[in-house]
Structures are given as C-alpha cells and as structure tokens.
Amino acid sequence: MSAVLKQHAASASQGQLQIEHVSIELGDGPQRFTALEDISVDVEAGEFVCLLGPSGCGKSTLLGALAGHLQASQGTLRLDGELISGPDPRRGLVFQHHTLFPWLSVEDNVAYGLKMQGFGKAERRAQARALLSQMGLQGFEDRYPKALSGGMLQRVEIARVLINQPRVLLMDEPFGALDALTRLKMQELLLSLWQKLQTTIVFVTHDIDEALFMADRILVMSPRPGRVIDEICVRSDRPRRQDWLTSTAFAELKRHCLGLLREPSGKGWPLDRLNPLTGLPSSDTQPPAL
C-alpha cells in the first residue's frame, strides 16, 4: 500500500458529515427557484453513500454545497463538527468529465495539489507515481491527457483528488460518460480503493444498478425541489461481486427504487405491488394514497 493510502487509513475516524435542514435556492429575481428543500442527513465516517434521483432533482446541488461551492439558503452543513463555509482540500470533488490540465503530464496533474502545498519535486514525484501505480496507470506517468482513454482519464482525475488525502470524496456521476464495461471496471476499482482508504464517499448517480452495487446506503431523492424520500441500507457482503447484480435481493431492491422514482408523490410503490419482471406497478393496482 502506498504512503498516501496508509495515511488515509490512519485517519479513517474522520469524515463525518452532518446535513441539518438544508434548503438551497438558485437563480435571481423571477428566475429564482428552490433546488433542495429541508434535507437532513448524517453520513458516518468511512460510509459509502449514493444520492439517487431523477435528473434535475438537486443531487449535484447538494454535492456542490458539501464541497463548499454553494451556500445553503437555510440550514447548515458540517464536516466533523466544523461548519462548511467554502472549498477545502479535506473535501475532494470528482466531476463526470475530467478537469485535468492538458499541458501537464499525468504525473504533474496528479502532483499539482502537492506542488500548491509546497512539497519538493522529489516528494511530489514519489507520491504521484506510487498512487498512479495503485490506480493501474504505471507506465503512463509521462503521457498527456489527450493520449488517454476515458477510463484512464477518470483514474487520473480520482488520483489527483486522492493525493490531497481528503476526509470526504465527493463524486458527481464520475463514470456516467463511460461505456458499460469500462464503467463496471471503474466501479470495482473505486470499491477496492475505498476499502483501503476507509474514507467517506458521497456518490451522485441516476443509475439504480450502480447505486446498489456501490453503496452502503442509498438516499433516494424526489423531483425538484429535491427531498430525501427514502433511505435504503444495502445489506450485501463486501467485497461486492458481479453475482450480486443477479441476486434476488438485488432485484427486489431495484424494483423498490424504480417504484420510488416512478411515483411522483415520493411515497413509492410497495414491493409486492410491482411487476417482478418490469419493476412497474401492476395494471390492476391503484396509486399509493397521497
């Protein structure tokens, strides 16, 4: 294990998030609208939580607030009891599309945060190369972003955040632009890293399979204004294997998630009222009472 990963594991007791009655409004004047409404959630240190919901429900808005890029209109957000009031390297953010500097090599992109912290060239090089090896990118240290595939670019992006040893890793649909096979490989890589790092991860997705494969807990969000309408604990042994994706328990949870996302009241459809093949309400059922 690299020095970066060892230091992460040593500080695994840090990374608890407290989100208390948070509402966020966006826009100006007549264009202003409520993106999130009264969100209250605690995320334990080392927990892997997925935010699952339809497009436009405020998942990325909540992530941006946790990163410190957006201010809550009401409520508070805290990391380990400390109020979140702006960006901080202790809360690393990974986007769907990479933000690498095209004029820097892979190694220099990953080491950039250490350079800003004043680390010497030899130390930056050693830490960056060790972490890139953990990411399966040995031999690509001197390449430039334009020479890498989509999956490799995202690995570099994740490494660039991890080298700063964040207490919390915030991920905004990081694998959404990848093909299905590459996406599954990246999911497995991230889970492997997470088990070594023992860091807190908040992961935004609109893909039910991805959420059920990755998360300890799934927060299902309603259409805008976004609210948490259900919390689902995924009780599956780790490390997760691909056979989990075809298990009966997985199928039942997926049907439940589909029911929640398809029923606009946010109350969802009970599992026994969903068609077991399609995940849709049976034709002879009535909507849940409002």
Average model confidence (pLDDT) for the chain?
Answer: 86
How would residue 74 be classed by pLDDT, with cut points 50, 70 and 90? very high
Residue 272's pLDDT is 43
pLDDT of residue 9: 54
pLDDT for 3 beyond 70: no
User: d(Cα 122, Cα 3) in Å, to the nearest integer?
Assistant: 14
Q: How confident is the model at residue 13 (pLDDT cuts 50, 70, 90)?
A: confident
For 167-187, write each residue's pLDDT tens digit.
999 999 999 888 889 898 899
The residues spanned by each domain of the chain are 3-246, 247-290
More reliable by pLDDT, 275 or 17: 17
For residue 12, the model assigns a pLDDT of 56
Report, as an integer, the average pLDDT of 272-289: 40
pLDDT the model gives residue 285: 41
What single-letter amino acid sits at 126? A
- pLDDT at residue 197 in the model: 87
Tell me, what's the pLDDT at 1?
A: 54
Query: How confident is the model over 102-118, as pLDDT tens digits?
Result: 999 999 999 998 988 88
Stretch 84-97: mean pLDDT? 90
Q: Against a cut of 0.75, is the pTM above it? A: yes
The answer, yes or no, to whether residue 282 has pLDDT greater than 70, is no
Class of domain 3-246: alpha beta
User: What pLDDT sits at residue 243?
Assistant: 87
For the segment 207-220, the average pLDDT, to the nearest whole number, is 95
Residues 192-204 pLDDT 10s:
999 988 899 999 9
> How large a percentage of the chain has pLDDT more than 70?
86
Question: Can you tell me the mean pLDDT for 84-111?
Answer: 92
Token pair recorded at residue 46: 């080392």
